[in-house]
Structure 1
Amino acid sequence: MNPQALKEHLSNSSLRKRVQTPTVIQMEAAECSAAALSIILGYYKRFVPLEELRYRCGVSRDGSDAYNMVEAAKYYGLDANGFQVNFEELDKLKLPFILYWQNNHFVVLEGCGSDFVFINDPATGPRKISYADFFKNYSNVAITAYPTEKFKKGGSPPRFWRLIKKRFADVKLSTIVFLISIQLILIILGLSFPAFSRIFVDQIISQRMLSWKWIFISFMAIIIVLQATSSAMRGYVANRLSRKLSITYSVNFLWHVLRLPLLFFSQRFGGEIINRMNLNTSISEFITNRLSLTIINTILIFIYGLVMYQYDHLIAGIGVLTALLSVGLFRFIARARANAYNRLQQELAKGIGTSIDALQNMEFIKATGTEAFCFSRIIGYKIKNLNNMQNIGKKDIWLNSFSSLFTQLAGIMLLSIGAWRVMDGHLSIGMLLALQMLMASFLAPFNQLLNFSMQIQSLKIDMMRLDDVLNNPLDPLLLKSKNQSNIPVQKLEGKLALDNVTFGYSPLDDPLISNCSIKIEPGQRVAIVGATGSGKSTLARIMSGLFKPWEGTVLYDDIPFMDLSKEQFKNSVAWVDQDVMIFSGSIRDNLTLWNKHIDNDQLVKGAKDALIYETIKKRDQDFDSQLLEAGANLSQGEKQRLEIARALVLNPSILILDEALSALDSQTEGEIFHNIERLACTCVIITHRLSTIKNCDKIYVMEAGKIIQQGSHEELKATPGVYQNLAKFDSIQNSHLRDTQS
């Protein structure tokens, strides 16, 4: 079948009657499946937050598959099925349904017209495409989801005023009353001008009451001064409130982000989060400078309209008709503009993320000579952003131009009809002048309301993007009560146990760790080995309290993790992995992380045990020497030793090392482990280097998320299995290395 045959087939099928589905824009590039399911649920009047659907669909950074989406749809009471459907069979399905698109995306089909196919794309919003594009992009998989008896309507779509209401919690009522009161004063002063103009023309000029002229002008000058003073007071208060709210919103957002569990960050892109934090400034500016003005403008429209109606019914009708034309135009372009703005925010976030990645990996870019490729990626996003902004700007220009045209036409009609009404005796010249001013005052706030409506679209999307982060639950460890006393927290003895622990990143996928049980006594040195992807590092993160198990319990000194205080846990358990984190600052700050309770003796001891002390002393200011961002003025081995020293200065009861010594030679590694043994702390080692763990008290072997072997090095080496194979391979590597060196 070709595009022309497809057009003839579908445009005359049961799909020709288009259905209207709600717009749901994906917040992240990988969550199109959750957004597509949200569109279908919304069509049947079941509104579910996108963050909940993200969880139900098992969305991660890698996205989600059709099977997970079908299972999530069934959870909400839909009869969902996925089919391999060719073009000829599409008309057998009932609208709306989900299409697999470009082999990596999901869209919702709304209908097929005579020339276009209508889709609701979670990445862009509703749009129409040609049959040629449909033929090219449809990937022959469709997912249907229809309500069953178990399906229940419920929830509500995101409402602007519900979103803005939460932001008012940080605004004092007295401030709002003040801003509205000042605005009311400005309105009253503004209403006086048409009345005074009528009196000035009809009484003072027409009846030549020249003795009142200067008194009248002086009175008008006083009103102008009062207007300027009131406007300045309002601007001053609004500006201070805007700064305060911007700081408050940004601080609250950042504080919430820092307290989210690690699993949240494993599913998100850094550029997206950074971009969203910057949205708080526009929200605070809107609340202070636009919202109170808009409330008053709404009242103002009715007041000016009523006054015009009292003067002349016909001219008042002209004003109302002009306003309705502007509203109709706005509704015509509103949906497309909102979708374009959401695309802009997505591309901005991608551009920020790409720029950050480039700056963080400049050494790699230089080494591989990929400067041109990096430039093309960054500039590509920049061009997309400019195109999106231009697209939004075009729609705004059309709206503003036509609104201005309607206003000018209203002015011409007012003069024409007004002149006729003056000659007819229904109006005086002063009344016509007053009506001109009233018409301008009526349409001005109306046009401001249209601009406000455009801003509402943008602001609603901004607040939804922020709430998409703020609605995520906090890390349970950080919700525990803080130790308010200055009494030192008692450290754990070092006993660690995992009892049938099961964990995975997606609730709809098979777990990565299954029924894992480990017992470690205080002071023991235990190793966990296995092939790449066996689950070693994930298990280390569970032991470190970074991930919460789906099932099972993690015990520290026979105490469940959730029963420990945050302070006791952080002072007793230290985790070091191969991804070293060094920030721009002094060596002292990098080691202590600004913990004032760590004295200089602890600092020196930790540095010596990590074999980094002599390196530090060679610097001009030893511990106060400055490090560059990401430790650019350190070697990889120095970075790893500094990271280990950071853990050792705490004198932890349990030390978890996840490939933490991979950049060190065997001799340095052995000396560090010898120093750790002297500390008598429990040590869990994740490594591929078997020479490191020969002297461990116990070794656990992992495969596919399960512990399949355990014992000492000699016991496991003598037993056929995974460890024996690892030992043989390690022996061959060491032999080859010795031959190379000789």
Structure 2
Amino acid sequence: MRVKDYLLKNKWKSLLAFLAKIFEALLELLIPLVVARLINDGLNANNMTEVWRNGGLLILLPLIGYVSALYCQWQASNASQQVGTELRSALFHKVQSVDMSQLDQFGKGSIIHRITNDTQNLQLAIALILRLGSRLPILLIGSIVMAFNVSPKMAPIFIITGLVIGGLLVFVTLKTNQQNKSVQTNTERIAQKSRENLNGVRDIRAFSNQQAEIKAFTSHNQQTFYQQIKMGSLQSIANPISLLLINLSISLILYLGAQQISSGYLLQGDVVALVNYMNIILLALNVLVNILMAFTKGITAIGRLDEILAIQPTHLTEKRIESLSSPITIEAKDLGFAYGQYLALSDLNFTINPYDFFAIIGGTGAGKSTLVQLLMGFVSPTEGMLSINDSSITSYDRETLRDKLAFVPQENRLFQGTLRENLVMGNENCSDDFIWHCLEVAQAKDFIVQDERGLDQPVLALGRNFSGGQKQRLTIARALIAEPDVLILDDATSALDFATEKQLLQELKEMPITMILITQRVNSIRNADRILVLDHGKQVGLGQHQDLLDSSTVYQEIYALQNKEGNNE
């Protein structure tokens, strides 16, 4: 679905709001005629019956218009809020369902900006168009028609004024529409820069790099400022010029109207009606400028939101396998993956049998994390085959895959709420006994029981009330509670001391699961059933610890370096 589909879903609410506002506009067009009749047939003729009749209409017509406007406001608010709510939900669902590589094309800051700011801009545009935009054509065209009805000789003034101002507004709209996309993009960059600095504030201060960051932020900010000034300057000319043209037109109406009154072609009330119609045009055009600004932002927002909604997951084929039986065997044949032109992995061949302790080791940039993303189905292979139980990983339904594989990433994420809510994310129906058992296996029980609230103790945003090592153990416990067949630990024990890590791995190895451990510590994987050694995206070793010490140069270098560091300590 695209943005237009969500707009069409709310078409009846929008139509009712549109019709209600049109009805109010038609009533507003009648008021100058009633005023003219009040003056011509009532006051000038000293006819109190006409005065009372037309005076009553001047009370009744605005009252009916007010009720109609209220109904329009209610329906317009309902429609705009409904579209915004549905779009935010759809965008969030899309972000949860597509591949990580597809999200990386936009960046986290850009996606957040689109879900929040762009959706809000679209909501505002919908509301303004329904509340005010629907009545503008009626007021503008209707005022010209009614003016022609009052005095055909005066009508050309309205037509010429309307065409000149309309042409000016079209020019301003086209120009600002081009500039608004650049403003939105730069605003997005400011949001990304702010987010980056807030996340890395400790590193920035540790290296006293505040001035460089301030300079970079100021550059983005100034660029946005100049673009907004340029766009605002162009928009600002619309109102003064429109006001000047309207006032000149009113002066011309009064001048020519006085002559026609003297000649007997017009009555005083007719001139008052013509001036009122010109003022209606003035007010309508002033509103039109604001609507065009909101419309420009709304159109830009639709394009940016559609870019997210148009993404289709590439890691799953159209025909999806919805069942995955245990035990699980994972096999890679000539497996490779490339980020664009950059080849991150190539020619990987290995088999992970059920209940294996399979380790992956390599230096920075070896391709370990990329391999994890392939194993979890976050990205699809660009070369070779990665299969689970003899079927390509891309052929499985996403939920089916996630039910069998649990992943503990390098960055340990805890969410604001309670500890229990964080732990049962993958298995909400588990018992407390099972939760405590998993906490014990993950070496997390000891520090949890120290708080009398136990599983109901609060977790601050990003888990700030827990240390790095505690968060690692809690996320491992969370993965175990999901009862996976395969547990993937991506450097998830790096913050643990050697004794705690050794006990943890021993406990995990005794569980009936397949464990895949990605690490840089040789001591962590001495007892692994098989170890895959990576170097610059290539497989340079596969076997057990002792075998690799005899056959793999890269593994020997890692082992020697770490043993040397350990001896020096």
TM-score, structure 2 normalization: 0.91
1:396 aligns with 2:396: no
Q: Kindly provide the CA deviation profile for residues 106-160 of structure 1, in whole angstroms up to 9, marking residues without a partner as x.
A: xxxxxxxxxxxxxxxxxxxxxxxxxxxxxxxxxxxxxxxxxxxxxxxxxxxxxxx
Match of 1:70 in 2: none
Match of 2:26 among 188, 195, 203: 188
State how far apart, in whole Å, the 1-side matches of 2:74 and 2:374 are. 52
Q: Which of the numbers 601, 605, 612 marks the counterpart of 2:437?
A: 605
Task: State yes or no: 1:209 paired with 2:43.
Answer: no
Partner of 1:534: 366
Residue 297 of structure 1 and its aligned partner are, at CA, apart by: 2.3
How far is the alpha carbon of 1:292 from its aligned partner? 6.2
> What per-residue deviation string (whole Å, max 9, x for no partner) do you get for residues 435-466 of structure 1?
22223334443443344333322221121121
Per-residue CA deviations over 1:555-590 (Å, capped at 9, x if unaligned) read 222233244344442222112222111222222222
Q: Which residue of 1 aligns with 2:332?
A: 498
1:15 corresponds in structure 2 to none
- Over 3 Å counting, the alpha-carbon distance change for 1:410 and 1:373 in structure 2 is same
Instruction: Please state if 1:319 is matched with 2:151.
Output: no
Q: What does residue 446 of structure 2 align with?
A: 614
1:170 aligns with 2:2: no
Residue 280 (structure 1) aligns with: 119
Secondary structure of 1:664's aligned partner = coil
| Partner residue in 2 for 1:132 | none
The answer as to 2:82 corresponding to 1:224 is no
Task: Trace 1:327-338 onto structure 2 (pairs within 5 A).
Answer: 327-338=166-177
CA deviations over 1:380-436 (Å, ceiling 9, x no partner)? 655655555444333332211111111111111111122223333432323222222
The ranges of structure 1 where at least 4 consecutive aligned residues each deviate by more than 6 angstroms after the TM superposition are 478-483
SS of the residue 1:512 aligns to: strand
Are 1:491 and 1:568, in contact at CA under 8 Å, matched by a contact in 2? no
Residue identity in the other structure for 1:341: N
**Residues 51-84 of structure 1: per-residue CA shift (max 9 Å, x gap):** xxxxxxxxxxxxxxxxxxxxxxxxxxxxxxxxxx
Tell me, in whole angstroms, the C-alpha distance in 2 between the residues paired with 1:614 and 1:219: 81
Rate the CA distance shift 1:570–1:480 in 2: closer, same or farther, 3 A: farther
Question: CA distance change for structure 1 residues 297 and 353 in 2, over 3 Å: closer, same or farther?
Answer: same
Compared CA separation, residues 384 and 502, structure 1 to 2 (3 A): same
**Match for residue 356 of structure 2 among 524, 534, 557:** 524
Superposed, 1:254-269 pairs within 5 Å as 254-269=92-107
Residue 244 (1) aligns with residue 82 (2): yes
Q: Would you tell me which structure has more helix in proportion to its own residues?
A: 2
Choose from 303, 306, 313 the match for 1:464: 303
Deviation at 1:362, TM superposition (A): 4.0
Asked whether the equivalents of residues 494 and 681 of structure 1 are also in contact (C-alpha less than 8 Å), the reply is no
Residues 1:303 and 2:303 aligned together: no
Structure 1's 633 and 183: CA in aligned 2 closer, same or farther, altered over 3 A? closer
- 1:379 Cα offset (Å): 6.3
How far apart are 1:184 and its partner, in Å?
A: 2.7
Flag the 1:705–1:167 CA change in 2: closer, same or farther, 3 A. same
Please name the residue that 1:708 is paired with.
Answer: 540
1:511 is paired with a residue whose SS is strand
- Which residue number in structure 2 is paired with residue 641 of structure 1? 473
What letter is aligned with 1:404?
L
Conserved? CA contact 2:367–2:537, under 8 Å: yes
Pair 261,429 (structure 1): closer, same or farther in 2 beyond 3 Å:
same
Q: CA deviation at 1:614?
A: 0.9
Work out whether residues 482 and 567 of structure 1, in 8 Å CA contact, stay in contact via their aligned partners in 2: no
Q: Relative to structure 1, is the Cα distance of residues 404 and 166 closer, same or farther in structure 2, using a 3 angstrom cutoff?
A: farther
Whether the 8 Å CA contact 1:496–1:520 is kept in 2: the answer is: yes
CA positional deviation for 1:241: 3.1
CA distance 1:570–1:214, shift in 2 (3 Å): same
Pair 1:704–1:372, CA change in 2 (3 A): closer
> Which whole-Å CA distance do the structure 2 matches of 1:704 and 1:371 have between them?
34
Partners of 1:238 and 1:400 lie apart in 2 by 26
Question: Is residue 433 of structure 2 the alignment partner of residue 433 of structure 1?
Answer: no
Unaligned runs of 5+ in 2: none
Question: Out of 495, 498, 518, which is 1:686 matched to?
Answer: 518
1: CA distance, partners of 2:321 / 2:351:
29
Equivalent position SS for 2:484 = coil
Cα displacement (A) at 1:474 = 3.6
Corresponding residue SS for 2:339: coil
Once the two structures are superposed, residues 663-686 of structure 1 have per-residue CA deviations (whole angstroms, 9 ceiling, x without a partner) of: 222222211111111013222222
Instruction: Tell me which of 182, 187, 194 is aligned to 1:343.
Output: 182
Match of 2:284 among 429, 436, 445: 445
State how far apart, in whole Å, the 2-side matches of 1:163 and 1:433 are: 49
SS of 1:221's equivalent? helix
| Paired residue secondary structure (1:648) | helix
Residues 68-217 of structure 1 aligned to structure 2 (within 5 Å): 165-173=4-12, 175-217=13-55
The separation in 2 between residues aligned to 1:295 and 1:234, in whole angstroms, is 10
Could you tell me how far apart the structure 2 residues matched to 1:257 and 1:563 are? 20
Shift of 1:651: 3.0
CA distance in 2, matches of 1:527, 1:605: 25
Identity value in percent:
24
Shift of 1:595: 3.3
User: Aligned partners of 1:328, 1:192: CA distance in 2, in Å?
Assistant: 27
Per-residue CA shift, 1:204-231, capped at 9, x if unaligned? 2332223432233123222222122222
Q: State the Cα distance separating 1:164 from its structure 2 match.
A: 6.7
Q: Which secondary structure does the structure 1 equivalent of 2:412 belong to? A: coil
Give matches, 1:40-55, under 5 Å.
none
Determine which structure has greater relative contact order: mean sequence separation of CA pairs < 8 Å that are 6+ residues apart, divided by chain length: 2
The answer for the alignment partner of 2:198 in structure 1 is 359
**Relative to structure 1, is the Cα distance of residues 478 and 436 closer, same or farther in structure 2, using a 3 angstrom cutoff?**
farther
Q: Residue by residue, what CA displacement relative to the aligned partner does 1:513-549 show, whole Å, maximum 9, x if unpaired?
A: 2232221111122222223212121011101121111
On the 8 A contact 1:163/1:460 being kept in 2, the answer is no
In structure 1, how many angstroms separate the alpha carbons of the residues matched to 2:83 and 2:43? Answer: 51
Q: Quick check: 1:582–1:639 contact (8 Å CA) kept in 2?
A: yes
Tell me: CA distance 1:479–1:172, structure 2 relative to 1, closer, same or farther (3 Å). farther
Deviates more, 1:516-525 or 1:215-224: 215-224
Q: 1:631 to 1:188 in 2, by over 3 A?
A: closer
Q: Is the 8 A contact 1:580 1:640 kept in 2?
A: yes
SS at match of 2:343: coil
Q: Cα distance, 1:477 vs. partner?
A: 5.6
Say yes or no: does 1:423 pair with 2:262. Answer: yes
Which amino acid counterpart does residue 573 of structure 1 have in structure 2?
L
Letter of the 2:472 counterpart: Q
User: Gapped runs of 5+ residues in structure 1?
Assistant: 1-161, 484-488, 738-742
Post-superposition offset of 1:649? 1.9
Q: Secondary structure at the match of 1:695?
A: coil
Cα distance in 1 for residues equivalent to 2:391 and 2:448 = 39
The residue matched to 1:519 in structure 2 has which SS? strand
The aligned residue for residue 136 of structure 1 is: none
- Say if 1:319 and 1:443, in contact at 8 Å, map to a contact too: no
